Amino acid sequence: MAASMKITCLDCGAVNRVPADKLGAGPKCGTCGTRLTDGKVREMDANALAKASKTDNVPLLVDFWAPWCGPCRMMAPEFAKAAQALAPNARLAKINTEEYPKVSMRHNIRGIPTMILYQNGKEVARQSGAVPASAIEQFVRSKAKLTG
């Protein structure tokens, strides 16, 4: 029997449990019905970040960005490509540090874009600067424990 994995809904913040071998079966949030592992980059709020970063067994890569940051905007399509490539075994999300300035302090962000990889309730690795999709994917594959 596959272990169940905790995975936070990045839309409503509810914590779901999904068997590891069902991550690719289109699991939906039990609270709001959002698909949890559809490979789309989610814009998250501070609450969802706090919960997911402390809870999720499924690797979560968060892009700390801001609308005024040119390199951040340049990386957005690369980040989206990497999200598709890594689904359903890892999730990619972004948080607008202009909208949620406190998260930069809480997560010790010194420059953007910065990507932080979380798994099993803790930070696994971080990387600053805009990079192509292949490097984002490689970063997650080399640092996280992927189930598939």
Which residues carry out catalysis? Answer: 69, 72
Contacts of 100 (CB under 8 A, 6+ apart): 45, 46, 49
Q: Does 29 bind Zn ion (CB under 5 A)?
A: yes
Burial class of 102 by CB neighbour count within 10 A (0 to 12, 13 to 18, 19+)? exposed
Q: How many residues does the chain have?
A: 148
**Do 50 and 95 form a contact (C-beta atoms < 8 A)?**
no
Task: Please confirm whether the linkage preceding 113 is cis (ω < 30° from 0).
Answer: yes
Q: Which stretch binds Zn ion (CB under 5 A): 21-29, 65-73, 82-90, 102-110?
A: 21-29
Q: Which of 9, 44, 92, 136 binds Zn ion (CB under 5 A)?
A: 9
* Residue closer to Zn ion (CB basis): 9 or 82: 9
Burial class of 67 by CB neighbour count within 10 A (0 to 12, 13 to 18, 19+)? exposed
Q: Which of 3, 25, 32, 74 binds Zn ion (CB under 5 A)?
A: 32
User: What's the closest the beta carbon of residue 121 comes to Zn ion, in angstroms?
Assistant: 19
Q: Does 31 bind Zn ion (CB under 5 A)?
A: yes
Size of the site for Zn ion (CB under 5 A): 8
Q: Does 93 bind Zn ion (CB under 5 A)?
A: no
Q: Which of 6, 12, 69, 76 binds Zn ion (CB under 5 A)?
A: 12
User: What's the closest the beta carbon of residue 54 comes to Zn ion, in angstroms?
Assistant: 17
**Do 45 and 91 form a contact (C-beta atoms < 8 A)?**
no
Q: Where do contacts with Zn ion occur on this chain (CB under 5 A)?
A: 9, 11-12, 14, 29, 31-32, 34
